[in-house]
Chain A
Amino acid sequence: MTALEARSLTRRFGRFTAVDAVDLRVDRGEIVGLLGANGAGKTTLMRMVLGLLEPTSGSVALFGSPPSRATRLRIGYLPQNLGLYRDLTVAENLRFAAGVYGVTPAEAPPGTAATLVGDLSLGMQRRVAFAVALQHSPDLLVLDEPTSGVAPLARARLWERIRAAAGDGAAVLVSTHAMDEARQTDRLVLMHLGRVVGTGTEHEVVGNASAVVVRARRWADTFAALEAAEIPASLSGDALRVAGADADGVAAVLADAGIDARVETVPATLEEAMVLAGSRS
């Protein structure tokens, strides 16, 4: 059962094409992650899905119909800034959202009902934001960086709630920059310059992108030599990684610089695959 179906969705601003013929489908019960660098069109795409922006061409179907006030009732949105009123209490925030969506207010987390949201810790605020977004049992959940800046254990607990919502039949669309979050999704959609450039599981998206790992005794010199040859390297522990490079080419550069190093090709990380997808165009 499809909750969200975008077909050939395009959005232009003057001569600039922010989103270019994007197809996106999210079914109930699945968690789809939207990944992309800045300027990739993620935000514009999400705004069209949420009904905040009209597409230039293409269509968005929510539960089989075009976006309307009726479809809004079935969407739960958690923006990056949590969307809570800091000068209202937790209970008042819940009640306001409940009133707007026409449901009974949910219970506040124990002991917080009468506390002003602004007085809560960030972690607790996030919990409340989740409660507000899920209160009306939305059929489509749109989350923007839901666990940005959250510690590992707390992040895991939040993902439990997201999984539970999906288990209850919600379709979940998560927009994220974090690899840790991307790992939690069922399917990834990678965007670049307004287009979808990859889709599938993490493994599928990485495909056969590779990286070269360089181990040398003094990595600083190695780093300098690679930079001089305009080979972008990044530090990983005490080794260096070069995304998308050719092992022999790297070895040659290092040999020329008189550096004794071990060079080996390994699968790229998701992040490296993304950077490579970006630099390819």
Chain B
Amino acid sequence: MTWGVRDLTVDYGAARALDGVTVAAPAGEVTVVVGGDGAGKSTLLRVLAGIPVPHRGEVSRPDPRRIAFVPTGSGTIQDLTVAENLDFVARAYRLRHWRERADRLLERTDLASFRDRLGRELSGGMRQKLGVIMGMLPSPDLIVLDEPTTGVDPVSRSEVWRLLAAAAGEQAALLVASTYLDEAERASTVVVLHRGRVLLSGTPAQVSSSLAGSIVDVDRPSDPSLAWPRGARWREWRPGGDPGGVRPDLEDVVIAASLAVEEGPS
């Protein structure tokens, strides 16, 4: 089963948040949406999660009780313990026999020994892990996550992705918004949003090879407006092509594509 949106347009008053966006989230796969703030990621996620947002276009999503939404900031309740947070979700979704599943999920992470820790006493990484577990508890068909690993330490991040892999293994469809391109590299499908439009879409390999022109690795850029730093050196996009080009990775392609559309920080 594939969920998603087709030709989705969302206006907030005079501002167009999404413009004719089509994104598919197949079951059992991880789809990562990349984009800066103002790109429309959060809006897209909210529409798919079923949050009432006036929109035009088609939306295909499962029944609300089979959808989980993990917002930025994890959605955990600060004043409750880990165990109480899970209890709350279980009751809200009217789950039965959920404790065993909760235990198994907790054991995949270091949260297992912190069941009585209050939400606000958890580190950022632990809170995100709890948020993901809360989302996975009802075994939903679709899980929508808004930047689940932004600012999270690498160890916790890998634990979060293990959890997401387990969710995909249970045939849930996963739609994840992220600003980390190394995460996008590991997705089944990458969608790059920019100013409410889809800039690029496909598997990471497809997207990486979709660039017109070449990327070169230089000491000093000849055209600073088309160049950006990579460590101590520079990457530069030559739209007309260049025999000395390197194999572009996802970051190169996303930056070059953004440059092509417009210059200037978001």
A–B contact, 8 Å CB criterion (strictly below): yes
Q: Which residue on chain B has the smallest CB distance to residue A162?
A: B229
Known A157-B265, A236-B186, A237-B204; judge A223-B180 contact (CB<8 A).
no
Interface hits, B217-262 → A, CB 8 Å: 228-232, 251, 254-255, 258-259
Find out whether the CB atom of A234 lies under 8 angstroms from the CB atom of B165. Answer: yes
- A107 interface contact, C-beta 8 A: no
Q: How far is it, in angstroms, between the C-alpha of A255 and the C-alpha of B78 when the chains are bound?
A: 45
Find out whether the CB atom of A127 lies under 8 angstroms from the CB atom of B265. Answer: yes
Give the one of A40, A154, A274 with max B CB within 10 A.
Answer: A154
- A23 interface contact, C-beta 8 A: no
Find out whether the CB atom of B181 lies under 8 angstroms from the CB atom of A152. Answer: yes
Q: Which residue on chain B has the smallest CB distance to residue A126?
A: B265
Find out whether the CB atom of B265 lies under 8 angstroms from the CB atom of A154. Answer: yes
Residues of B within 8 A of A184 (CB): 229-231
Residues of A within 8 A of B162 (CB): 232-234
Q: How far is it, in angstroms, between the C-alpha of A39 and the C-alpha of B232 when the chains are bound?
A: 30
Known A151-B266, A180-B251, A223-B169; judge A185-B157 contact (CB<8 A).
no
Q: How far is it, in angstroms, between the C-alpha of A40 and the C-alpha of B155 when the chains are bound?
A: 11
Find out whether the CB atom of A183 lies under 8 angstroms from the CB atom of B230. Answer: yes
Residues of B in contact with A, size category: 35 or more
Residues of B within 8 A of A271 (CB): 154, 157-158, 182
Of the stretches A30-38, A54-62, A87-95, the one at the interface is A30-38
Chain A 4-26 interface mask (CB, 8 Å, partner B; 1/0):
00000000000000000000000
Give the distance to chain B from A39, nearest Cβ to Cβ, in Å. Answer: 8
Q: How far is it, in angstroms, between the C-alpha of A145 and the C-alpha of B182 when the chains are bound?
A: 16
Chain A 216-246 interface mask (CB, 8 Å, partner B; 1/0):
0001100110010000111111101001000
Known A153-B36, A269-B182; judge A220-B28 contact (CB<8 A).
yes
Give the distance to chain B from A241, nearest Cβ to Cβ, in Å. Answer: 8
Residues of B within 8 A of A158 (CB): 265
Q: How far is it, in angstroms, between the C-alpha of A39 and the C-alpha of B154 when the chains are bound?
A: 12
Of the stretches B59-67, B89-97, B145-153, the one at the interface is B145-153
Find out whether the CB atom of B166 lies under 8 angstroms from the CB atom of A223. Answer: yes
Give the distance to chain B from A182, nearest Cβ to Cβ, in Å. Answer: 9
Chain A 151-180 interface mask (CB, 8 Å, partner B; 1/0):
111111111100100000000000001111
Q: How far is it, in angstroms, between the C-alpha of A238 and the C-alpha of B186 when the chains are bound?
A: 8
Q: How far is it, in angstroms, between the C-alpha of A201 and the C-alpha of B152 when the chains are bound?
A: 22
- B37 interface contact, C-beta 8 A: yes
Find out whether the CB atom of A38 lies under 8 angstroms from the CB atom of B153. Answer: yes
Q: How far is it, in angstroms, between the C-alpha of A21 and the C-alpha of B166 when the chains are bound?
A: 39
- A272 interface contact, C-beta 8 A: yes
Q: How far is it, in angstroms, between the C-alpha of A219 and the C-alpha of B30 when the chains are bound?
A: 13
Residues of B within 8 A of A274 (CB): 154-155
Residues of A within 8 A of B150 (CB): 148-149
- A123 interface contact, C-beta 8 A: yes
- B4 interface contact, C-beta 8 A: no
Residues of A within 8 A of B231 (CB): 183-186
Residues of B within 8 A of A220 (CB): 28, 168-169, 171
Q: How far is it, in angstroms, between the C-alpha of A220 and the C-alpha of B187 when the chains are bound?
A: 15
Find out whether the CB atom of B153 lies under 8 angstroms from the CB atom of A233. Answer: no
- A275 interface contact, C-beta 8 A: yes
Give the distance to chain B from A98, nearest Cβ to Cβ, in Å. Answer: 23
Q: Which residue in B28, B38, B154, B186 is a CB contact (below 8 Å) of A37?
A: B154
Find out whether the CB atom of A227 lies under 8 angstroms from the CB atom of B166. Answer: yes
Find out whether the CB atom of A180 lies under 8 angstroms from the CB atom of B168. Answer: no
Find out whether the CB atom of A38 lies under 8 angstroms from the CB atom of B124. Answer: yes
Q: Which residue on chain A has the smallest CB distance to residue B168?
A: A235
Q: How far is it, in angstroms, between the C-alpha of A236 and the C-alpha of B203 when the chains are bound?
A: 11
Q: Which residue on chain B has the smallest CB distance to residue A185?
A: B231
Q: Which residue on chain A has the smallest CB distance to residue B184?
A: A152
Q: How far is it, in angstroms, between the C-alpha of A35 and the C-alpha of B155 when the chains are bound?
A: 11
Residues of B within 8 A of A160 (CB): 228-229
- Further 19 A-B residue pairs, CB within 8 A, beyond A121-B266, A274-B154: A37-B155, A38-B125, A80-B151, A124-B265, A149-B179, A150-B179, A152-B34, A153-B255, A153-B266, A154-B36, A155-B179, A179-B182, A185-B231, A223-B166, A235-B161, A235-B168, A243-B158, A272-B158, A275-B155
Mind listing 17 A-B residue pairs with CB under 8 Å? A37-B125, A38-B126, A39-B123, A121-B266, A149-B151, A151-B266, A152-B255, A154-B36, A154-B266, A157-B228, A160-B228, A180-B180, A180-B251, A183-B230, A235-B168, A237-B188, A278-B155
Q: 4 closest Cβ contacts across the A-B interface?
A: A151-B36, A156-B228, A235-B165, A153-B258
Residues of chain B having any CB pair with chain A under 8 Å: 28, 30, 34-39, 123-126, 147, 150-158, 161-162, 164-166, 168-169, 171, 179-182, 185-188, 203-204, 228-232, 251, 254-255, 258-259, 265-266
